[in-house]
Structure 1
Amino acid sequence: MKHLQTAVMALLFVSSAAQAATSSWVETPGGDVRLVALPAASDGTVRAMLDIRLHDGWKTYWRDPGGSGIPPTIAIDGAELTSIGFPAPKRLGDARTHYIGYDKPVRLPLKLHRAEGGAITATVFLGVCKDICIPVQAELSVDAGGERFANPLEETAIAGAEASLPHGVGEGFKPLSGRWAADGKSVTVRFEAPGDGPLPDVFLSGSSTFEFGAAGPVRREGAAFVAEVPVLHKPKVFDLDKDPIRLTVRAGEKTMESPLAID
C-alpha cells in the first residue's frame, strides 16, 4: 500500500509538471532567458514572467538604464501585455560610465490578457554586459491553453517574482514632492524613507520618451531626504496625469515605488 501511494504521488507530480507552460531557455554567453506562464484565470488574465538567468559577473539593465544601456523590451503575440514589473534596481558601473540595472539573476513578472487559447510568443530584446555588452534577441513561446491547473513549481516562481517588486507607499516611506529645475534639466525629489541604514538610492522613470540619469548624492533635510535627478531627455509634449513619473527608492533591503507629483 505504501509503494502504491508513492507511485500515485509520483504520477500526479509528473502529470502536473507535464502541464507546465515554460519555454526552452535561450542561451547566450552572458545569460539565458525563458518565458513562464500560468493558465488563464476566468477573466482571461494570465500571470507570467520573463526569467533572466545572468551568468557570474554579467549585468543587465532596468527599464530606464540612466542614459547608458539597452532597456528591456517585450512584445507579445497571442495575448495582450498589460503590465511589466521591475524589481528595484542598483546603480552599477563606475564614476565614468554608470548605469542602472541588475547584477544578479532577475525575474520580471508580466500580466497578460487573452480572449482565447493558443500559443503565447514573447519577442524579447535586452542587453547583457560584462567587459563588453551583448544585445540579446529571443523569441520565446509557451502554450498554456490546454492547462487546467498551474504547475506548483512555476506558480511559486511567479509568486516570488511578484513579491520581489517594490512595495507601495507606507508610513515613513513615501514621496513628498517633485520639482522641475528652471532649465528643465533636473528634478528635485523629496521623500521619506527608513533612515536606520545607508543613504537611500533614488531612481526615476517615465514613459519611453523620458530619460533620467543617475541621481546625485542624497542628502537629509530634517525628516526628509532630497536628491537631484538629471533629466537626459524631456519630450515637448507629455501628460503626467495619464502617464506619471515613477519614483523608486531602495533603502537597504526595503524598496518603495510610487507615482511622483511634479510641480
Structure 2
Amino acid sequence: MKRLETAAFALLFACSPAMAATSPWVETPGGDVRLIALPANADGTVRAMLDIRLHDGWKTYWRDPGGSGIPPSVAISGAELTAVGFPAPKRLGDQTNHYIGYDAPVRLPLTLAKPEGGAITATVFLGVCKDICIPVQAELTADASAENFANPLEEMAISDADATLPHGAGDGFKPLSGQWAADGKSISVRFEAPAEGALPDVFLSGTSTFEFGAAGPVRRDGGVFVAEVPVLHKPKVFDLAKNPIKLTVRAGDKTMESPLAIE
C-alpha cells in the first residue's frame, strides 16, 4: 500500500505543471537537452541537472574531448554555478580521428549556490556528432523558487545522475603519481585499479587552459598500472595546488576520479 501511495503521489506531481521545475526540451537533429532544478536546500545550495538525450548513433563530448571536439559549456544566471559533474567517458571515433565523450544519453549533475530567489537559466553550448558535427546552443529555464519541497520524480532523476559519477579514490583503486616528461609533452601516470578483465582506460582533465590527448596503451608494472597521456596544450602559468589535474579511470564497470599529484 505504501508503494502504491508513493507512486500515486509521484504521478500527481508529474501531472501538475505548477510544481514543475523542469525546462521544456530543446530539440535538435542529434539530440535534445533540458534543465532540471530542485528547490534550494537549507544551506542555500541547489541541486540541478543538464539532461542530454542523444538520438541513436549520435555522440557528444566530455569536458576534455582529447584535441578534437567541443567541450560542453554551461553558464548559469539566477544562481552561482559551483560544480559540473561528468560520468566517466569513452574513447570514440577511429585511430585517425578519435575523441573522448559519450555515445548514449548522459546527465550532468550541477551544483549551484546563492540562488537569487527566482528562475534559474542555463545557457548551454554542446557539440553533437554522427556523420557530421553540429553545435547545439540552448537557453534553458527552470523555476523551483515557489516550491517548498522537491518533485519526487525530478529528485529521483538527479539522484540517478549523481549515481553515474565516478567514485573517489579508495583502497585498490587510486592514483599513485604523475610525472612530466622531460619535454613537458606528456605525463606518465601510475595508478592502482581492479586487475580483472580488460586493461583500464585512462583520462586526464584540468582547467580549460590544459588540453590532453587520448592516453597511450595501459601497461602493468608489477602490481600497478602505467599510462602515458599526451599534453596537447600546457599553459605557461598554472597552479596545480589550487587547480589540480584530475585522473579519471574506467576499469570494467567501475570508475574512479581523483586529483593526481604530479612531480
TM-score range, shorter chain: over 0.9
* TM-score using structure 2 length: 0.95
Output one character per residue of 1:162-183: Cα deviation in whole Å (capped at 9) or x when no partner: 0100000111100011000000
| Paired position in structure 1 for 2:35 | 35
| Paired position in structure 1 for 2:12 | 14
Instruction: Provide the rounded CA distance (Å) in 2 between the counterparts of 1:169 and 1:200.
Output: 15
Structure 1 residues 17, 246: CA separation in 2 closer, same or farther (over 3 Å shift)? farther
3-state SS of paired residue (1:238): coil
| Paired position in structure 2 for 1:241 | 241
Percent identity of paired positions between Structure 1 and Structure 2: 78
| Paired position in structure 2 for 1:203 | 203
3-state SS of paired residue (2:47): strand
* TM-score using structure 1 length: 0.95
Q: CA deviation at 1:13?
A: 4.1
Instruction: Provide the rounded CA distance (Å) in 1 between the counterparts of 2:236 and 2:10.
Output: 58
| Paired position in structure 2 for 1:255 | 255
Q: State whether structure 2 residue 116 is matched by structure 1 residue 116.
A: yes
| Paired position in structure 2 for 1:3 | none
The unaligned stretches of length 5 or more in structure 2 are: none
Q: CA deviation at 1:115?
A: 4.0
The number of residue pairs the alignment matches comes to 257
Amino acid at match of 1:238: F
| Paired position in structure 2 for 1:164 | 164
Instruction: Provide the rounded CA distance (Å) in 2 between the counterparts of 1:36 and 1:112.
Output: 12
Instruction: Provide the rounded CA distance (Å) in 2 between the counterparts of 1:77 and 1:150.
Output: 21
| Paired position in structure 2 for 1:92 | 92
Q: CA deviation at 1:114?
A: 2.7
Report the more deviating stretch, 109-118 or 227-236: 109-118
Amino acid at match of 2:128: V
3-state SS of paired residue (1:159): helix
3-state SS of paired residue (1:22): coil
Trace 1:37-186 onto structure 2 (pairs within 5 A).
Answer: 37-186=37-186
Amino acid at match of 1:105: P
Instruction: Provide the rounded CA distance (Å) in 2 between the counterparts of 1:220 and 1:11.
Output: 52
Q: CA deviation at 1:149?
A: 1.4
Is the 8 Å Cα contact of residues 22 and 36 (structure 2) preserved in structure 1?
yes
Instruction: Provide the rounded CA distance (Å) in 2 between the counterparts of 1:70 and 1:230.
Output: 18
Q: CA RMSD in A?
A: 1.5
The unaligned stretches of length 5 or more in structure 1 are: 1-5
